[in-house]
Amino acid sequence: MSHTETMIEEAVNFSLNENQVMIADMIRKFGEEHIRPHMMEWDEKQIFPLQCFKKLGELGLMGVLVPAEYGGSGFGYFEYVTAISEIAKIDGSIGLSMAAHNSLCSGHILQFASEEQKKKYLSKLATAEWIGAWGLTEVNTGSDSANMLTTGVKDGDHYIINGSKNFITHGVSGDVAVVIVRTGEKGDSRGMTSFIVEKGTPGFKGGRKENKLGMRASETTELIFENCRVHKSQMIGKEGDGFVQAMKVLDGGRISIAALALGIAKGAFDASVKYSRERQQFGKPIGEFQAIAFKLADMATKIEAAELLTFQAAELKNRGEKVTKQSAFAKYYASEISVQVATDAVQIFGGYGYTKDFPAEKYFRDSKLCTIGEGTSEIQKLVIAREILK
Ligand X SMILES: Cc1cc2nc3c(=O)[nH]c(=O)nc-3n(C[C@H](O)[C@H](O)[C@H](O)COP(=O)(O)OP(=O)(O)OC[C@H]3O[C@@H](n4cnc5c(N)ncnc54)[C@H](O)[C@@H]3O)c2cc1C
To the nearest whole angstrom, how small is the minimum distance from the Cβ of residue 336 to ligand X? 12
Residues 310 and 302: their CA atoms lie apart, in Å, by 12
- Residue of 134, 204, 243, 269 that binds ligand X (CB under 6 A): 134
Residues 157 and 117: their CA atoms lie apart, in Å, by 17
To the nearest whole angstrom, how small is the minimum distance from the Cβ of residue 218 to ligand X? 6
- CB count in 10 Å sphere of residue 370: 33
From 22-30, 77-85, 114-122, 369-377, give the range in contact with ligand X by CB under 6 A: 369-377
Report which DSSP code applies to 329: H
Q: Tell me how far CA of residue 39 lies from CA of 30, 45, 346, 366, in angstroms.
A: 13, 10, 19, 12
Residue nearest to ligand X as judged by C-beta position: 142
- CB count in 10 Å sphere of residue 144: 11
Q: Per CB under 6 A, does 136 bind ligand X?
A: yes
Q: Per CB under 6 A, does 207 bind ligand X?
A: no
In contact, 218 and 366? CB cutoff 8 Å:
no
Residues 118 and 178: their CA atoms lie apart, in Å, by 13
Per-position x/- string for 210-239, each x denoting binding to ligand X as judged by CB under 6 A, each - no binding: --x--x----x-------------------
Residues 63 and 83: their CA atoms lie apart, in Å, by 11
Q: Per CB under 6 A, does 243 bind ligand X?
A: no
Cα torsion angle, 258, 260, 261, 265, sign: positive
Per-position x/- string for 93-132, each x denoting binding to ligand X as judged by CB under 6 A, each - no binding: -------x---x----------------------------
Q: Per CB under 6 A, does 142 bind ligand X?
A: yes
Longest dimension (CA), the chain: 79
In contact, 173 and 219? CB cutoff 8 Å:
yes
- Residue of 23, 236, 339, 369 that binds ligand X (CB under 6 A): 369
Q: Per CB under 6 A, does 20 bind ligand X?
A: no
Size of the site for ligand X (CB under 6 A): 23
- Residue of 169, 183, 310, 380 that binds ligand X (CB under 6 A): 169
69 catalytically annotated: no
The residues carrying an active-site annotation are 374
Positions that interact with ligand X (CB under 6 A): 100, 104, 134-137, 142-143, 167-169, 212, 215, 220, 369, 372-376, 378-379, 382
